[in-house]
Structure 1
Amino acid sequence: MAVTRVRRESWQGQVAWRKTYADGGHRRRIAALRWIARRLGANALLAPMPLSPELACRTEQAMINRLAALGANVPPVLAVGDRELLLGDLGPTLAVVCRAEPDDDKRSRLVQLGLDALADLHARGGYLSQAFARNLTVRDGCVGFIDLEEDPGTTMSLPAAQARDVLFYAHSTARFLCSQPGEHARLLKAHLERETPEVRTEVTRTASALCWISPVACLFGERARGVAQALSSLARATA
């Protein structure tokens, strides 16, 4: 699987990001995750196959072009190489903005903003690579999508790929609302009502398959507890 390195540059007086793709990654871990996903019947967690640096670079270009054609806010491609792209800047990530926001209600609105962006993208027939909060950006109330070097649509159906977005977003945002019991589940439940029945089915199936992890994860570190919080919210949202 290709790994990526990103460095900040200046391009025509503006911020740009040079993304370089290289050999590496965790092939055995991905193979294990694919095996587990199949055993659980969790289609939305079936990780895409590992890609060479060149193919990962071309995949990101294709994903950017596809999402741009759907009207999504994606970084402009400023320059292209076999193993690198120069991309425009879309602002800070949603994760960074949420971590810096001390107000509970404003954090909730930020999480809702990301859900609104996903709902709009899914309604247009789109999906992301990995819809973690670190791969969404926020600038002037507008959400953007970055880090698009894998295409889940190569290994799963459209509903599963869109369910994957919901699951990854839920996983990465639960910790921002831990001071507001029930708020994360409420937002997810409202969001799922905007998704298609097929997407809701995929999310429900996966949340059910993973429900046993929640009480175990609570016993470990902060990252594991974040997983437990996300699974608890998903269980309540899909009940």
Structure 2
Amino acid sequence: MHSNFTDLLNQFSSSQNRTVQSYIIKNQKVWLKKASERHSGWIYIPLRWVAALFRLHMLAPVPNRGGMEAILCEISRIKELQKLGIRVPQILAESKSAILLEDAANNGQSRQLDQALMTAKDKECRLEIFNQAVAAIQDVHSKNAYLSEAFSRNILVDQKLQFSFIDFETDPGEVLSLRNCQIRDWLCFIFSTAYRLEENELQEASQFLYEQLSDKPKIYHEICRVGHKLHWSMFFKVEKLGNDGQRVKKCMLFLQKLALHQPLPMI
């Protein structure tokens, strides 16, 4: 790490009020993340109950402890994934309470996946972006790795459809097995991307994901089982609950389509 970046980290972190803030240094955009207050464990109780009630271990909440632990976790996870050749932000400087990161969006050359799907000019472009995102996550998993929060807001894509990943303040591997970490990645991804697909695109999109998971049948079946166990939510007209309800509906429709490619075995 360059000593100048270390000096800047120390200088900015002492005066910065926000937890995360961007700066322009010699025409280069960087992000400084400071240790924040610890997150209350109470916010995870509802999800913990759902995970226990339906025996869906992959939905067990992964606590964000905040403070120095979150900073150290992000540093560790970025370095771990970087060694595997996975596109993540470059660490410019670090301390126990702050981290200075290169802008993973390459000064605006990349966009959040959610935005890319939302502004795609037609069905073909939208499905191509979706399919390439699936392939990018599958590449991460092929290296026996996993992400932290695989939502579309934490996935960046450039004009060449190259993907990078951000936000690693949590480590699902602390509470979940590798397989459940990867299942959790897919569930986060499906929940946050299916919403941007038209209903007549879900079949084709789910077909591509099914093909990508052809060599991991256990993961495929576990994802489908989540859909089966949570299917009851469709009877409550969740789409009337605003955007979050619409996301749940699209997610459940996607999981239904996914399950049809290979019905679950009778037990």
Q: TM-score, normalised by structure 2?
A: 0.82
Residues 159 and 202 in structure 1, CA contact (< 8 A), matched pair in contact too: no
Structure 1 residue aligned with 2:188: 168
Quote how far apart the aligned CAs of 1:186 are.
Answer: 2.6
Q: What is the RMSD of the two structures over their aligned residues, measured on CA atoms? A: 1.9
Structure 2 residue aligned with 1:27: 41
> Which of 159, 163, 167 is matched with 1:143 structurally?
163
Residue 96 of structure 1 pairs with residue 103 of structure 2: no
Quote how far apart the aligned CAs of 1:33 are.
Answer: 1.1
- The structure showing larger relative contact order (alpha-carbon pairs under 8 Å, at least 6 residues apart) is 1
> Which of 196, 216, 221 is matched with 2:242 structurally?
221
Measure, in 2, the Cα distance between the counterparts of 1:193 and 1:22: 41
Q: Matched residues, percent identical?
A: 27
Counterpart AA for 1:203 = I
- Partner SS, residue 137 of structure 1: strand
Aligned pairs for 1:134-213 (under 5 A) are 134-139=153-158, 140-178=160-198, 180-181=200-201, 182-194=203-215, 196-213=216-233
Residue 56 of structure 1 pairs with residue 82 of structure 2: no
Measure, in 1, the Cα distance between the counterparts of 2:161 and 2:178: 27
Residues 215 and 228 in structure 1, CA contact (< 8 A), matched pair in contact too: no
Structure 2 residue aligned with 1:114: 133
- Partner SS, residue 74 of structure 1: coil
- Partner SS, residue 231 of structure 2: coil
- Partner SS, residue 200 of structure 2: coil
| Unaligned runs of at least 5 residues, structure 2 | 1-17, 106-110, 261-267
Measure, in 1, the Cα distance between the counterparts of 2:93 and 2:39: 25
**1:160-180 per-position Cα deviation (integer Å, ceiling 9, x unaligned):** 000001111000111221253
- Partner SS, residue 86 of structure 1: strand
**1:20-65 per-position Cα deviation (integer Å, ceiling 9, x unaligned):** 2311545212122112212211111111134141011111111111
Counterpart AA for 1:156 = L
Computing the radius of gyration from Cα coordinates, the structure with the larger value is 2
| Unaligned runs of at least 5 residues, structure 1 | none
Structure 2 residue aligned with 1:235: 256
Measure, in 2, the Cα distance between the counterparts of 1:215 and 1:189: 26
Residues 86 and 140 in structure 2, CA contact (< 8 A), matched pair in contact too: yes
Quote how far apart the aligned CAs of 1:226 are.
Answer: 1.4
> Which of 47, 50, 55 is matched with 1:36 structurally?
50
Residue-pair matches, total: 235
